[in-house]
Structure 1
Amino acid sequence: MRRSALAYGLLASVALTSPVMANDDVKKASADPNNWAMQSGSYNNWRYSELDQVNKSNVKDLRVAWQFSTGVLRGHEGSPIVIGDRMWLHTPFPNNVFQLDISDPVGPKIVWKYTPKQDPSVIPVMCCDTVNRGGVNIVGDTLIFGQADTTLVALDANTGKEKWKTVNGDPKKGETHTGFTLVVGDKVIMGTSGAEFGVRCHVTAYNIADGTRAWRAYSMGPDEDILVDPEKTLSLGKPVGKDSSLKTWTGDQWKIGGGSTWGYASYDPDANLFYYGTGNPSTWNPAQRAGPDGKQIDQKWSMTIFARNPDTGVAAWAYQMTPFDEWDYDGINENVLVDLKVGGEDRKVLVHFDRNGFAYTIDRLNGEVLVAQPYDEDLNWATHVDLDKDSATYGRPIVVASKSTFLNGPDVNSKYVCPAALGFKDQQPVSYSPLTGLFYVPVNNVCMDYEPFQVSYTPGQPYVGATLSMFPPEGKTNTGHFTIWDAAEGKIVHQHDEPFSVWSGVLTTAGGLAFHGTLDGYFKARDQEGGAELFKHRLPSGSIGNAFTYSQGGKQYVGIFSGVGGWAGIGLAAGLDKPTDGLGAVGNYAGLKSYTDLGGTLTVYALP
């Protein structure tokens, strides 16, 4: 299957004469499967490549072609970008950017390096390590990327010289950048992080030509701030109505409401809609967010999938997965755009594996939820998601009372809640293969105890309000799965255990393979049909990066970042001596230090 040119819109000319011309440039440049031109491979977030030189019959012969050290010892998420004989790669803070000449098969040559000037005081306000999963965007002769301190930077892609800068937020308030940037037409759209510091988060569009702001959509607040049309923006098939967000918050709490937007975004050019998720409401203590009568209120639009028009920012629809979140089940995970037959009917859908443990198959044109099923058997905080349209709880998860951190009361430790706040899947993206019609899911097989406590808000200070401890499900020792999922039926097809959470993004290829890294430091290739392990090689460090592939000089290469960190490896990355230091949420990885240590290396493989 050839990648559709419509699935890519990244490589547009900065000298924009019209959006039409930019789209023509995009189609020409990104239809080439030899490139890896976007973080997710394509606008539809498949993370699939048509390259098939490396396949099931010869993958066992893969060898290291070359390696490159980034010089930074923190968590390396995301992947490089490859176009032609040039590769651009990024690092965690301080967010260095390199351009490499990869034309020599022996190894790369550094063409230029860009080192941002950032105040290191941003580091303490970055939740869960100093990562950057958004990486870089190449738009014609311009490179665009977001720094930890929220600065959006445009460089000359050929020389590394600055073209323009703009500031998206204020780290002194806890606003940082760790997540997505998405180029659509003549705009770049940027998310923000900071819910753990009481930030009211947003997505913002900037004009590529000069960095001026085009629009901003907050996760919660007045209609004019969140860019919804009360009569036209839908939720579960009905207009959201006036003040849909304000009605679900007490007083002015929405002003410190959270709803981070640090995941990956996707885009449907036919519908002209882009899709992203919002994170948890602030604080993690649900009792502090209850209504005036002490009852639960939804706190919209945290924990939500939004479909927005990239030209105006106005939302077409919104669906809240976990109203009144009590477990830090961020809704930021990526949305994969596919066409599936669901219930005997052809549907244009998005597939979303939420932190809350449910996998959703949703009509991406109107937001109707078609399938919602657990993608791991250990989910126990809810019985199911109600999909009866005539029910008063339509679209909502039905919570098990004993697992409610709100109903159990403040300062009560709710025991054995599955999944943990990490979610059964976090930032690590899934892959979809058109060869099988199935999804390949890197899973955290982790549960938790969750104890809320009272916390006061101070700008720039943590606003968490809960203590966590995390561990494998009862009767199990592993904390990871590699899962193959049928999104039309909502069921697990195959599942393979991993000793640690699989925190690496998956890549599928036309060679019938699924590639991923592991937290304990391996790069693996699996058979797409059943998930059998066909190749395994030791990396310099544990991997939380995303596998990617490209072709140069007629040879296919497959690569991945190693460099343990992120939430999964914060104990190592931050140099914590005890697994219960910091958030108290890394104890389940206490044994990780026996397998790996810090690093920051790109490893690229090829056949002999």
Structure 2
Amino acid sequence: MKTNLSRQVAVATVLSSMLLIGSGHAQNAGGDDLLKMQQNPANVVMPTNTYDNQRYSKLDQINAGNVGKLQVAWTFSTGVLRGHEGGPLVIGDVMYLSTPFPNTVYALDLNNDGKILWKYEPKQDPNVIPVMCCDTVNRGVAYGDGKIFLHQADTTLVALDAKTGKVVWSVKTDDPSKGATGTEAPMVIKDKVYVGVSGGEFGVRGWLAAYSVNDGKQVWRAYSEGPDNEILVDPKKTTELGKPIGENSSLKSWQGDQWKIGGGGTWGWYSYDPKLNLIYYGTGNPSTWNPKQRPGDNKYSMTIFARDPDTGEAKWLYQMTPHDQWDYDGVNEMILTDQQIGGKMRHLLVHFDRNGFGYTLDRATGELLVAAKYDPAVNWATKVDMDKSSETYGRPEVVAKYSTQHNGEDTNTQGVCPAALGTKDEQPAAFSPDTGLFYVPTNHVCMDYEPFRVSYTAGQPYVGATLSMYPAPGGNNMGNFIAWDAKAGKIVWSDPEQFSVWSGALATKGDVVFYGTLEGYLKAVDAKTGKQLYKFKTPSGIIGNVMTYEHAGKQYVAVLSGVGGWAGIGLAAGLTDPHAGLGAVGGYAALNDYTSLGGTLTVFAIPAS
């Protein structure tokens, strides 16, 4: 039987990686062991599920034929309100999860319906809350070397003993008084843990850094902008679209010292290819949002980086939105797959950018293979130039009407699609190797954008734009959940949603895809057709990431509910001005009629017949 086979594989993996001891707690396991541990579908050992960020599970007890029988198995209140934007880990008999500020971490006993084994409650200065753009979220914890890693809102990276919750070490990664915050989920590779930074709306210069899992010492740090030696690029070796970057440096793309407060945050998701030994991530918006104040391409904001995780040196990079005028951060996840394209098997990287284009690149070389709109409403650019002989190869062809500056002057621009929160924000997509399709939660939202001049003061907002958001033309739905063919650059099917789909997707071998809605529904749809198979209303809106695990031979599905994030910031922070929340409060005002604040883990299973 499939169940017995999957359990045999699980047991073998557990033994080989020394994952468990008799009590069910985690043993010491280095980053190399995570390669083995992620092969066991019973567990979820990292925030991305696996290094390739596919968010796919081989578990199939719950499938398209029986998912309609799902029932709530148990629940757990986190004790914290505002946006729950992460997801739990499961290692053996223990579940680990974190909350929004104050970033409480729980270890729950799966043998006892989530009994609390230990709780870590960091003592953080509440003054960090006002410098957290777009809610007080945290996207989860990471595991490695017998430790649980958390990047706190105040930019403290802490390592906790996975058995006891006691602090093993902690280190400060940046300065919240200047607007830097920690919201992303760390990633452990080999003997290092990787974290980035939020704060582009406060002029924080983005970076990705590696720390020793053993003692917390910084191994390397690569900035998003600045001198080559600080970005860790080699002009002769680092390539963009197949050519060495040469003298096309970051400094030449900024006016004066603007790069020092240039943004390029790194608060999204990270991926890793162990065979190529490359870590992938994207950088966020340049600062300020007013493009007139930062002439040039503003390299390397809005950029996909492929780096050597041991040294930090960049092998290749690709800037998707040069001289961003709309806040189209490039931090969304990089999904790694191996597929045939153009009659050739390729090592692919697929990225659904905020700017509304879905990109397919060769992840070994950075060659751009596909760039296509994954929402028909996208209008700020007509296309990405795919002519390799062209001087503008790889650049978007911007529609002048939707530029936010004309003749070098600020312009109040209306009807720009997508809105600043993008056709998709950080809410991660999933990929199924069974169907070859990507499952993408999207926003179907447009905006009016009015830039204005702003002065920089450390620790104060450095935005320089006023926004209004509203549904895209052609209907009242603000979101779609789509299936995407990344080789062809086409939508296969699309399920409309009243509000943006702000949760992460999960694909399973049972031919089921799960996602959550801002109203609070957990939904299951057929992976091939998009037909709805199940839905359940959780206590609050879902912006967390659906996950699945197996315990004692039984498959479970779990999700954190707790409305918030950028789309739900009005509810989360009690804001009423329609322009507040960088325009989201007015756009999502109707959410108040459907849900309220909460913080609950809901775990589902199919009851025994």
Fold agreement, TM-score > 0.5:
yes
**Which residues in structure 2 correspond to 1:37-436 (within 5 Å)?**
37-104=45-112, 107-133=113-139, 135-242=140-247, 244-290=249-295, 297-407=296-406, 410-436=409-435
SS at match of 1:326: coil
The AA in structure 1 aligned to 2:156 is: T
| Alignment partners' CA distance in 2, 1:382 and 1:577 | 32
CA contact (8 A) 1:12 1:22 kept: no
The AA in structure 1 aligned to 2:185 is: F
| Alignment partners' CA distance in 1, 2:536 and 2:390 | 51
Cα deviation, residue 582, structure 1: 4.1
Residues 1:227 and 1:586: Cα distance change in structure 2 (over 3 Å): same
CA contact (8 A) 2:77 2:599 kept: yes
| Alignment partners' CA distance in 2, 1:339 and 1:489 | 15
The AA in structure 1 aligned to 2:218 is: R
Cα deviation, residue 12, structure 1: 9.8
Residues 112-158 of structure 1: CA deviation (Å, up to 9, x unaligned): 1000010000000011000011x111213211111000000011111
Residue identity over aligned pairs, in percent, reads: 63
SS at match of 1:103: helix
CA contact (8 A) 1:222 1:243 kept: no
CA contact (8 A) 2:31 2:192 kept: no
SS at match of 2:177: helix
SS at match of 1:121: helix
| Alignment partners' CA distance in 1, 2:526 and 2:71 | 18
Cα deviation, residue 23, structure 1: 5.8
Cα deviation, residue 593, structure 1: 0.3
Q: Match of 2:533? A: 534
Residues 418-442 of structure 1: CA deviation (Å, up to 9, x unaligned): 0000100001000000110000000
Residues 272-319 of structure 1: CA deviation (Å, up to 9, x unaligned): 0000000010000001112xxxxxx11100000000000000000000
| Alignment partners' CA distance in 1, 2:450 and 2:520 | 32
CA contact (8 A) 1:484 1:495 kept: yes
SS at match of 1:586: helix
Cα deviation, residue 25, structure 1: 2.8
SS at match of 2:34: helix
SS at match of 2:101: coil
Residues 217-271 of structure 1: CA deviation (Å, up to 9, x unaligned): 0000001100001100000111111461011111111100100000000000000
| Alignment partners' CA distance in 2, 1:585 and 1:489 | 33
Aligned residues: 588
SS at match of 1:568: coil
Cα deviation, residue 411, structure 1: 4.5
Residues 1:103 and 1:147: Cα distance change in structure 2 (over 3 Å): same
Residues 549-592 of structure 1: CA deviation (Å, up to 9, x unaligned): 00001110001010000001000000113433343332111100
Residues 28-47 of structure 1: CA deviation (Å, up to 9, x unaligned): 43321100111111000000
Q: Match of 2:25? A: none
CA contact (8 A) 1:410 1:453 kept: no
| Alignment partners' CA distance in 2, 1:420 and 1:517 | 21
| Alignment partners' CA distance in 1, 2:379 and 2:206 | 29
| Alignment partners' CA distance in 1, 2:31 and 2:413 | 52
Residues 1:12 and 1:553: Cα distance change in structure 2 (over 3 Å): closer
| Alignment partners' CA distance in 1, 2:584 and 2:554 | 43
| Alignment partners' CA distance in 2, 1:27 and 1:289 | 43
Residues 1:408 and 1:376: Cα distance change in structure 2 (over 3 Å): farther
CA contact (8 A) 2:430 2:438 kept: yes
Q: Match of 2:26? A: none
Cα deviation, residue 387, structure 1: 0.8
SS at match of 2:288: coil
The AA in structure 1 aligned to 2:60 is: D
| Alignment partners' CA distance in 2, 1:204 and 1:320 | 20
CA contact (8 A) 1:64 1:603 kept: yes
Gaps of at least 5 residues in structure 1 are: 14-20, 291-296
Residues 490-532 of structure 1: CA deviation (Å, up to 9, x unaligned): 1000011000000000001011000011001100000000111
| Alignment partners' CA distance in 1, 2:172 and 2:74 | 36
CA contact (8 A) 1:12 1:23 kept: no
| Alignment partners' CA distance in 2, 1:396 and 1:67 | 48
CA contact (8 A) 2:404 2:410 kept: no
Q: Match of 2:509? A: 510
CA contact (8 A) 2:482 2:495 kept: yes
Q: Match of 2:23? A: none
SS at match of 1:573: helix
The AA in structure 2 aligned to 1:311 is: D
SS at match of 1:567: coil
The AA in structure 1 aligned to 2:48 is: S
Q: Match of 1:293? A: none
CA contact (8 A) 1:82 1:88 kept: yes
| Alignment partners' CA distance in 2, 1:22 and 1:582 | 41
Q: Match of 1:445? A: 444
| Alignment partners' CA distance in 1, 2:34 and 2:455 | 48
SS at match of 1:571: helix
| Alignment partners' CA distance in 2, 1:12 and 1:76 | 31
| Alignment partners' CA distance in 2, 1:119 and 1:359 | 39
Cα deviation, residue 473, structure 1: 1.2
The AA in structure 2 aligned to 1:26 is: L
Residues 1:24 and 1:445: Cα distance change in structure 2 (over 3 Å): closer
Cα deviation, residue 536, structure 1: 0.5
Cα deviation, residue 22, structure 1: 3.9
Q: Match of 1:18? A: none
SS at match of 1:449: strand
Residues 51-77 of structure 1: CA deviation (Å, up to 9, x unaligned): 000011111100000010000011001
Cα deviation, residue 408, structure 1: 6.8
TM-score, normalization by structure 2 = 0.94
SS at match of 2:229: helix
The AA in structure 2 aligned to 1:172 is: S
TM-score, normalization by structure 1 = 0.95
| Alignment partners' CA distance in 2, 1:514 and 1:28 | 25
The AA in structure 2 aligned to 1:76 is: H
| Alignment partners' CA distance in 2, 1:584 and 1:531 | 31
**Which residues in structure 2 correspond to 1:497-576 (within 5 Å)?**
497-576=496-575
Residues 1:410 and 1:573: Cα distance change in structure 2 (over 3 Å): farther
Q: CA RMSD in A?
A: 1.8
Moved more, 439-448 or 578-587: 578-587
